[in-house]
Structures are given as structure tokens and as C-alpha cells.
Chain A
């Protein structure tokens, strides 16, 4: 009974088949032809997948080639500081960089001031009531249709209880309720799944804000205590605003960007 590394053992003892080298060489040689054939022959989704993979490979290859070329170029980067002392009139020449940095920082600050009221998604698509609500029939003979069901994901606060079913005009289905959002911190570049605290503003209409409808561009308040952010005063920040960046009704999740 063969046991343990029996394949390697066998190769060590008896060697490979005589045409092994030739076969591997030929297989490698065929590889290019196979790719070329696929590139020409494939159609539809397969072609798409193939092209994507090929593109990634090529990009990788190009990057590698560039790296090699760069390593060959001599004397890139700053010239080594000379050991001789610089004359006084030349000392200033080194400074322009810092001056430029200063000016850019000032510009940045100004921009930030203007940005105080700007949000990542300034424009949103309008949503009609038809799309937002679905009329439900009610009454003994199903001939009344004053009930509405919201067809978008919503946020309902904790401890929410529905009104008596008979009176309830607007229904927020429990299957479409969302409690958490994937919030990205734009500066840190991290994404965390955080609990939603409330809906601050829905740009579509104040009524939707009140109902807690989550659509693209809605500002929500999220619980950031997990992130461990600290205010200038040294207190831990608890709630922070974030804007929804995706269409929750299409993705089944809520993605948002933290407003900092």
C-alpha cells in the first residue's frame, strides 16, 4: 500500500516519464496560443470575464515592468546634500516648498469653511408618491383604499408600537426595517457597521423624515461610540450624522458616509 509521500518517492527512485520535459515545455508554449484563441473566440459573458481577467493580468505586468525600469534609472529623487556649506544667499532657495504648503493649507481651510454645509451627495433623484407608497385595499368589501404601505426601507425607533391596525394609515413593513448601516469614515477610510439612532432629514420630503424612510441622500444619525471618536474637549462622541450613499431598496443594506 503506498503511504505518505509515495509520489515523490517514486519520482526519486524511477524518475519521470521520458517525455516529461518536452510535454511541459509544449504545454507552456501552447498557453499563449490558448489565450489568443480565447480572446478571439469567446463571446458573451465568458468573453467579458476573460477580458476582465486578462486586463488585470496585463495591468499587473505593466506595473511590474515600470518598477523594473524605475529601479534602473539612476539618481532619482533628491540629490544628496553636499558636504560643503551653502552661502547665505542660497539658503533661501530651499524654502519655497514650505511657503507653498502654507498657502495651500490656508486655501484648504477656506474651502472647509464653505464645506461646512455641504454634503457628499448634494443632489438626489426625486421619488414620486406612487413609487414610495403602495395603496392597500381595506374595508369589508375591500373597496376602500386609504391605507398606504411604504415600499422603501425605513428606520423605526426602538420601542415602536404600531397603531391599532384598523386606524393605521401608513404601514412600514417590518421586513423592510433597517437597524444598522455600514458607515465609512472618509478620512480614516474604514467602514463599520453601526446602529442607526434616528433619521435626521430625508431630502425628498419632511413627511418621509418623520416616517424614517431611508433613501439615497438621507441624513441619518449613527451611534459612533464603537469608533472611539473624541471631541476637542476630550469627551467621547456618541452620535454623529452620516449620509446614505446607496439605494437601500436595491441593495438590501444601508451604506453611508460619515459627515465630519
Chain B
């Protein structure tokens, strides 16, 4: 539950509010529009402005409304406190007027956007926008008072102390000027103003202290006068609500010296009149300023009067003096103790809490299947507590980490406990470890290996002949399987290629290099006899040789068969030079010549063959004019 409201954003006043939003509209929406634009665009421009402004107002108003606490959802103590401080109805009406303004602005925004849809000119649209923003600003202008009020509430709300109504609380109450604040000051660090006049404290003050490692809060309340609650002012009502709503130990302060300006009778009367508020609370009466007057100093009549207070259900009377610090801490401790016991009692009383836990627990009790007793096995010394120091402690004792070296021998598991710390001797029975090493071990191993090799050579390990036959069969099968696997892979990759090749240009078959060897290989693969065809190829080749021997073909052929085979017109580059088997100097010369030839072109930045270009993307003569029968390719 929220106990403080420090983070409520600042509530702007009406002029700031409109300035912020309209400024934002100006900054965040387009600003340039001309009468020549399409009317659609003009309308859009102004609709955006109206919508944007409306949204801005709505968003901001919603933020303010949401940030304030909803008074009905609070703890009764806070609810009543806020009611006395800020007047609940006023608070609610202010927030309601804000949210009403929100709906009104939404309506204006909607209406004017609708009207803008029918705008005919830039001027008309502009006037409509102006009217819309003006009406929104007017709605905000009317919120002057609520905004001002809420800003004040925000400032005050942020400064309220955070009082937790459910925690351990000591509540200090009593007549004005009886020393309540000075008591709070002496038991906590709270910085409370202490002055020798009534109503120094005009609001609730909270201080915190620890007792038995528990956090307590002590609340100092403004003084209460003995009068009916209807006549009480806001300051007194705060203390009344604190007494009524907080689960606490109430410490009723009294001043027997009557320095506070109120008689003992009055103070006792007040106690009796606010007694109904003490139901279900621990109460104690504290007599302050005992350095001036003690209970024992009173006359019998007054003592009787005081007794009427203590006669009530175990209200104890204690004496202390804040001025001399007498008894202050003792009484604080007594109060805390009382409060703790009361709280524990209350907790025990509330069965709901136990029931809540119990219905979550399920204890299963399985039925025994036979009469055999299956007692749990427990090690004998399981219930023995660990004795002796921990190794951590030993470490600390012996100089701490880095200095202390733990004894690992302790953990050895040996037949005899006593052996643990024995030292392994260097010599045992007159022998050392070195005595067991054989110096000729290397030579022995070499002899063994030689013998093994000789046996292999003799065929000592070879199997008999019929077995040999079988192995050759197996090998054959293996070879075939290998071939099949390989072939399978090739086919797979080929079919894969085929799929990808469908997307690419295919090298025509006549341009691929085919050789006689490959052909024969292929025939072998598909299981045909290649003898005939290879004979034909040989015959053809011998004829070809004869032909190549004649005329210019012989020269070209000598230069490189590749050109003919590829069938491309060569362009001079490094790859080609290599292709043509040019010498290094020849290649350099060719390159130089090429550069010289191309120099003019490159200098001019002229188009050349290496440019990728599209001559004309839309040839006009092909795309204009009527098409008689719908054909454009014969133009």
C-alpha cells in the first residue's frame, strides 16, 4: 500500500497548461501549408493539428487525475486524514472537474475534425482549427481553481510523513503543551519543534527507533482539547483520527504540575471522553514533568481522581520527566513490550490466519500393507552434535588464509589409523626404488619385436588358401559397392546441378569439351561396349591430322586448338594471353598496345565495350501510336 505521495507530478496552472500544449502542437506538427495545395491535404493538415492538440490536453489531464490518490481506496486512517486536511468533497470535485474537462475536450476534438472533413478552403479550415483550439483553451481556462487547489494539495501531500497504519506504533497524545513532542524528541531522532506554548505541533510527526531489533514508529500528535468532536478543528481531528485508526500503544500524556495551563481534572476528563477510541488498543497513562510534581505530591482528592483512570481495564500509570531524562527509556521499553505482547495475542486470536495455512497443507498417511515393521535407519551418532572446531576456525586460529596449511594426511583412508602420518622411507629393506629398474629393458623389447617380424615374414599368421578365395570375393564386392556409392553421389550432385542450372544459362553442348577418353569412360559406365566407337574415333582423328597438316589451318592449329574449340572472338587480356601461350614479353607488349589504343577512349570517358549499358529503355518508335492488331514488334 502506498504511504507517501512524493512523486505526484507538478500540476500546472491554467496558463502554463495551455501554453505547454499549444506550444507542443506548434513544434510537433507541420507548419507550412499553402492555399494551392489540394483541399484534401489542407484538411488533413488542420485535422492533424486539432487531433494532436486534443490528445495532448486529454493525455495531460488524465495523467494528473491518475497521479492523485483515490481517496476511497486508501486505508481508513489516510482517508480520514486527507479528508480533514483537504476536505474530501472539494478534492473529489476538483478531480472530477478535470476528468469532465477531458471528456469535453475529446468531444470538441471529435466535432471539429468532423467539420474539417467538409472544409472547402484553407481559410475556412484554418478558422475551424482556430475555433477548436480556442474552445479547448477555454475549457482549460475554466479549470483555474481546481488546478490551483490540486497544486496546493500536491505540495502538502508530498510533505506528509509516511505513517504505516499496520506496523508497531507508539502513539503519543494528550492535552496541548504537556510534553508530547519533547518525549518524541528524546526517544527518536525526529526533528520536532518544541516550544513552551500550546499547539506548537500542528500536524502529525513521526519518528523511528529500534527496540529488540525491531523497528517501531512513534507518532506525535497535536494536542486535543476536551470538547465534542463536532467543535474540534482540523488540527485536533488529526490526532483523533490517529488514535482511532492506528493499531498502536496509546500513551496518554498528563502534566500534574498544571504548567500546561489545564487542570488535572480537565486532563482526566479528556481521557474519559476519548476512552471509546481506545478499544482493542493497549493504553498507558504517562505523567510527564515529574521533576516538578509527582503523583505522591498530590492531595488525596486528586489522587482519587487519577485512580479513576487506572481503574479502567489495566491502564498503568507511569512517571517520567523529559527535562531530566528520568525514566524515559524505561517507559519506552515498557510500552514497546506491552505493544508486542498485545500484537502477538491478537495474532494468536485470529484463527483466519491459521486456517489459511492449514488448508494448504496435506498430510498423507498411507495404510501399512503388512505387519512388518520398517523402522527408519538412523546412524548411531546421527543425533550427536558436531564437536570440535570447524576447519575454518582452525584456520583462523593458526594464522588465517595463506599462512595456515591444512593437513591432508588426515583424510587418508588406511588400514591402520597410525600409518597416516608415516613418512615413506627412501630405503626399505636395504633397497631403493631404483633397485627395481631393469637396465636391459630396451634390448629385450627390440629382440621381441624382431622375433615378431620374423614370424610375420614366415607367414605364421597367414590363413589357409580357401580363405584367401573368399577374401578376394569380398574385396570384389567391396569395390563394386564403393563404385556404386561414388556413382550415387555423382548422380545426386548432377541432379542438384540440373535444378540450379534451370535458372542459369546453359553452356551449349557443342561448346563443351568432349574427348574420346571421356566417351569411352561413359560407355563403360553405362555398361556398353566401347570398342567399336573408339575404333571409329581413332579413324576420324587420323584423317583430321592429315587435314590439319594443310595450309593456314596448320598455322592456326599450331597456335592453339582452343580458340577454334571455344568459338569465341578473343579480346586481349591477361587470361587470353595465357591461353594463347604468349611469352612473358609478348604478353607485356600486348597489354601496352592495348592501353595505348584505349587511352583516347578512357580520357574522353567515352562509351566502350566494357560498359554495361542499355541503349534505350523505352524506344519511342516502338511504344507510340495506335496498334492496329496489337502488335508492336514490326515497327
* CB of B239 to closest CB in A, whole Å: 14
Known: A4-B203, A4-B205, A134-B120. A251 touches B131 (CB 8 A): yes
A interface vs B, CB < 8 Å?
Answer: 1-6, 9, 12, 131, 134, 151, 173, 175-176, 247, 249-253
**CB closest chain-B residue, reference A13:** B193
Residues in A with CB closer than 8 Å to B193 are 9, 12
Q: Is the interface of B mostly helix, strand, loop or mixed?
A: loop
Give the shortest distance, in Å, between B130 (CB) and chain A (any CB): 9
Residue numbers in A under 8 Å from B205 (CB-CB): 3-4
Interchain CA distance A158-B105 in the complex, whole Å: 27
Q: Point out the residues of chain B lying under 8 angstroms from A4, CB to CB.
A: 159-161, 202-205
Q: Interface readout for B143-171 with A: 1 if CB under 8 Å, 0 if not?
A: 00000000000000001111000000000
How far apart are A178's CB and chain B's nearest CB, in angstroms? Answer: 10
Chain A residues with Cβ under 8 A from B128's Cβ?
250-252
List chain B residues, Cβ under 8 A from A2: 159, 191
Q: Choose one: A5, A12, A176; the contact of B159 (CB below 8 Å).
A: A5
User: Is B341 on the interface with A (CB-CB < 8 A)?
Assistant: no
Number of interface residues, chain B, beta carbon within 8 A: 24
Using a CB–CB cutoff of 8 Å, the interface residues on chain B facing chain A are 111-112, 114-115, 117-118, 120, 124, 127-128, 131-132, 159-162, 190-191, 193, 202-206
Other-chain contact of B118, A5, A151, A250, A251 (Cβ < 8 Å): A151
- CA gap between A30 and B117 in the complex, in Å: 51
Q: List 9 A-B pairs, minimum CB-CB distance, nearest first.
A: A3-B161, A250-B127, A4-B203, A175-B114, A251-B131, A252-B115, A252-B131, A151-B120, A4-B159
A251-B129 Cα distance, complex, nearest whole Å: 9
CA distance A134 to B117 in the complex (A): 14
Residues of B contacting A134 in the complex (Cβ-Cβ under 8 angstroms): 120
Given contacts A3-B205, A4-B159, whether A252 and B112 have CB atoms under 8 Å apart is yes
Bound Cα distance A38, B179 (Å): 57
- Whether A250 pairs with B206 at a CB distance below 8 angstroms is no
With a cutoff of 8 Å between Cβ atoms, the chain A residues found around residue B204 in the complex are 4
21 cross-chain CB contacts under 8 A: A1-B161, A1-B162, A1-B206, A2-B191, A3-B159, A3-B160, A3-B161, A3-B190, A3-B205, A3-B206, A4-B203, A5-B159, A9-B191, A12-B193, A134-B120, A151-B118, A173-B118, A175-B115, A175-B117, A250-B124, A251-B127
B158 to chain A minimum Cβ distance, whole angstroms, is 10
CA of A139 to CA of B162, assembled, Å = 74
Residues of B within 8 A of A3 (CB): 159-161, 190, 203, 205-206
Which chain B positions have C-beta within 8 A of A9?
191, 193
Contacts A2-B191, A4-B202, A252-B132 supplied; 9 other A-B pairs, CB < 8 Å = A3-B190, A4-B160, A4-B161, A4-B203, A4-B204, A4-B205, A9-B191, A151-B120, A175-B118
- Choice from B111, B115, B159, B162 contacting A6 with Cβ under 8 Å: B159
Q: Which of A12, A151, A176, A251 gathers most chain B CB within 10 Å? A: A251
Question: In the complex the two chains form, what is the Cα distance from A4 to B203 in whole Å?
Answer: 7
Docked pose: A187 CA to B112 CA in angstroms: 32
